[in-house]
Amino acid sequence: MENGNKEKDFGDILVEIPEKKDKTQGFLHFLIDLIETLVLAAILYLGINAISARIRVDGTSMTPTLQSGEFVIVNKLAYKFGSTKLGDVVVFKFPRNPSQEYIKRVIGLPGDEIKIVRGRVLVNGQLLEEPYLSSPTAYQGNWVVPENQLFVLGDNRNNSSDSHNWGTVPMENVIGKAVFVYWPPAEWGKINTHPKTVSATNPYP
C-alpha cells in the first residue's frame, strides 16, 4: 500500500541561495573605509595648516629674491621653538591693517640700532652684507628697534613699503618664516637668509 504523501527525491543537488546580507555588509565595509579615509585626510590637512602656510607673492617689493606670482611655503612653527634671526624672510600682519599680510626681510632685532647712510645698512655699527640687493638703498635714516619689535625692509629696497616709512613690526604680528619657493617649478628652491654683518672701519666708500 502506497503512502498518500509522496516524497520527491531531488538527489544530492545543492542549491545556493545568495544572501542579501553579504551585499549589505560589503557596502557597509566600503562606507566605513571611505569615512576613515576622509577623516584621515582632514586630520592631515588640518595638521599641515597648523604648522605651515602657503602664500602667493603679490608685488615686486622682494625682488630679485621673490618674484610676483611665486608661491612660498611659510613655517608657522619657526618662532614657536626658535628666535627670529637677522636676514630671515618673514610673513606678518601689516601693523596698520592686520587684514593684510606682508613679506619682508628682517634687518633689525629688538634693541638694534639701524643706520642707513650712502646706500649702506649698518646694524649696531657693523656693515650688513646684502648680496640679494639689485641696487643700493637710496634713502637714509636712523632707527632704534623697540622691545618685541622687528625692523623689516624689502629686498627691492627703493620700491618697498616697509619699516623705513611706517615703523617696526610687533613680534605678535609675525605669522612665520618664509622658507621655500614651490611654484613655479623653474624657481623651486630654498629662500636664503644671508644673516651676516661685518666690521667695517670705512663703511662708506
The catalytic residue positions are: 61, 104
| Cβ pair 95, 169 in contact under 8 A | yes
